[in-house]
C-alpha cells in the first residue's frame, strides 16, 4: 500500500478558501459559504440593503471587504 506524501494531501483541492486574498469578488453562493449561511439568507441581506453588491449583467457579486465589514458591524458582546 502506497503512503501519501503529506505535502500532496490537499494539493489538488485548490479552492478560493485556500487563497482568501487571491479573490476579492465572491458570487452569492461563495459568500454564503464564507458566512456559513444559506444562499437565500445572503440574498435577503442584499435585498434589505445590509450587504452592498456589484452588479455585472445579471450576476451579483459581493466584495470580501464588505462581507468582513458586515461581520464586524454585526458583532455584539454580553455585559
Give the torsion sign (CA, 30, 34, 40, 44).
Answer: negative
Instruction: Average the pLDDT over 20-35 and give the result.
Output: 90
> Residue 62 falls within a domain, yes or no?
yes
The domain tally of the chain equals 1
**Which tens digit of pLDDT belongs to each residue from 29-58?**
999 999 999 999 999 999 999 999 999 999
Under 8 Å between Cβ of 62 and 53: yes
Instruction: Average the pLDDT over 11-24 and give the result.
Output: 62
Structural domain that includes position 52? 25-74
> Residue 20 falls within a domain, yes or no?
no
> Residue 55 falls within a domain, yes or no?
yes
Rounded-to-integer distance, Cα 3 and Cα 5, Å: 7
Amino acid at each position: 500500500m502506497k503512503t501519501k506524501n503529506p505535502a500532496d494531501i490537499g494539493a489538488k483541492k485548490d479552492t478560493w478558501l485556500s487563497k482568501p486574498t487571491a479573490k476579492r469578488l465572491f458570487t452569492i453562493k461563495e459568500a454564503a459559504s464564507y458566512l456559513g449561511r444559506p444562499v437565500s439568507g445572503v440574498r435577503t441581506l442584499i435585498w434589505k440593503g445590509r450587504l452592498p453588491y456589484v452588479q455585472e449583467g445579471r450576476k451579483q457579486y459581493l466584495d470580501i471587504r464588505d462581507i468582513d465589514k458586515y461581520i464586524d458591524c454585526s458583532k455584539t458582546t454580553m455585559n
